[in-house]
Chain A
């Protein structure tokens, strides 16, 4: 089945000062597809998303969103072009209310007059937030803050949503709710999603495709089924090969 590539990243190199972290990374995500990126701590997953959303400037390669080249633009321009980055550690605006966090998520679309409709959609997606609109976002639980961060990203009506470890530190039930929402977004809204996760098991359940990142390179690509059947991937990321505790 052919897909329109909403996000097309090719030959991407990026890093910090003189340290190159990403070496020649390629990835593509189609409309209505979810790509999971897994990899060990320090593999460069966060750096990849930062380079895609413009928080750091790639030193080589390209970032193309729906046919439009965005490489090297600042994050505010990339956001306006239709890419929402839900960052590691959520980074909600703590003293601002949930409603204000969402309203600011719609900053690039503030003149469209459709903010109210988008907000009600987000509150249907995350009903937990509905009763907490006036609460300062910093006082919410971690899972609720993650929902605010995702909702804030969605307020911009993005074509591509990239998320950095949304399950980090959350109870399994909330992880389930959040991943179910991601499934709904790609099915109902044809959103292209890049999901960076350490929780490979959870990610495999919602992903259409998986890439494994190791020390700044893509080492394996495939469907979740393919990768789950790969002994090395299984051992390293799905916990199959290692005893969890000495017996």
Chain B
């Protein structure tokens, strides 16, 4: 029983990081049908910037602001340079373009930080043992911050006019333009949100899962699978998809073979594409955000 709880906790904690990454995919995809393959690199970059900032002696809040700010700027510049100039964007074209950005970011990170992976210092607090389950303080940070961010993202899309404007662009772009919403600005805002989410994921995850120039690859892939599991356009779906994928990986690694952990995402992706190309948790069409 304690074994199972231990695996569930580990799964939920990594799943929360997948969920944040998945939310980044959803934020961008709903507005512009762009699949942003650099989403994982946002997290890697945030982790590496944070590690350097800690090395430079900055306190944690400043570290977080610096890491998130850097990634948000990178995401905004990326949108301006590669997405905004394209007249007729298609998902395939977006995959090619963002793959290029992802490769460029990886190369830049390799040049700046070298090949070695490292972890950020944990945020603080004591690890504890509850009912035979050992809980790392950083896992609680991950779960807590993810919960807060998820609620904030939901509130933004459901309660604020700017959030509703993004949904309007996703559902009915022609009508959105006719009421005066600029699709170009909406797309830029969606990248800023994706950068923010990716950066939060990267900073939270770094103490446990490490950051390296190439750590965005696996994270991006798993975040994408989680988003697809939730239908690619749903906030709730992305969060649920991330948690499900994380827990599934943890259970497979614990009860079957730890070498199979990374295969889980691929199997899930294939299963989703075969069974429900529209996504497993999808309920409403277009933008069920």
Q: A residues 100-140 with Cβ under 8 Å of B?
A: 100, 103-105, 107-108, 110
Neighbouring A residues of B171 by C-beta, 8 Å: 93-96
Given A76-B182, A156-B180, A95 contacting B284 (CB threshold 8 A): yes
A-B contact count (CB 8 A): 77
Taken together as a complex, chains A and B put the C-alpha atoms of A155 and B180 apart, in Å, by 11
Taken together as a complex, chains A and B put the C-alpha atoms of A75 and B184 apart, in Å, by 12
Q: Which 6 interchain pairs have the tightest Cβ spacing?
A: A108-B180, A79-B180, A91-B175, A75-B177, A76-B180, A107-B180
B287: Cβ under 8 A from any A Cβ:
yes
Taken together as a complex, chains A and B put the C-alpha atoms of A79 and B182 apart, in Å, by 11
Residues in chain B within 8 A of chain A (CB atoms): 161, 164-165, 167-168, 171-172, 174-182, 284-289
Does B161 lie within 8 Å of A94, measured CB to CB? no
Contact of B177 among A74, A84, A110, A152 (CB under 8 A): A74
Residues in chain A within 8 A of chain B (CB atoms): 53, 55, 74-76, 79-80, 84-85, 87, 91-96, 100, 103-105, 107-108, 110, 149, 152-153, 155-156
Residue of A nearest to B173 (CB): A91
Taken together as a complex, chains A and B put the C-alpha atoms of A91 and B177 apart, in Å, by 11
Q: Taking each of B165, B171, B179, which has the highest tally of chain A beta carbons within 10 Å of its own beta carbon?
A: B179
Contact of A156 among B167, B168, B179, B284 (CB under 8 A): B179
With A53-B178, A94-B172, A152-B179 already in contact, 9 other A-B pairs whose C-beta atoms are closer than 8 Å: A79-B177, A87-B178, A91-B172, A93-B175, A94-B171, A95-B286, A95-B289, A96-B164, A107-B161
Does A104 lie within 8 Å of B286, measured CB to CB? no
Does A75 lie within 8 Å of B178, measured CB to CB? yes
Taken together as a complex, chains A and B put the C-alpha atoms of A152 and B176 apart, in Å, by 11
Given A87-B174, A100-B164, A104-B168, A95 contacting B180 (CB threshold 8 A): no
Given A94-B171, A95-B284, A85 contacting B178 (CB threshold 8 A): yes
Nearest-Cβ distance from residue A78 to partner chain B, whole angstroms: 9
Contact of B167 among A74, A76, A96 (CB under 8 A): A96
Nearest-Cβ distance from residue A25 to partner chain B, whole angstroms: 20
Taken together as a complex, chains A and B put the C-alpha atoms of A108 and B182 apart, in Å, by 10
Neighbouring A residues of B161 by C-beta, 8 Å: 103-104, 107, 110
Neighbouring A residues of B168 by C-beta, 8 Å: 93, 96, 104
Nearest-Cβ distance from residue B74 to partner chain A, whole angstroms: 27
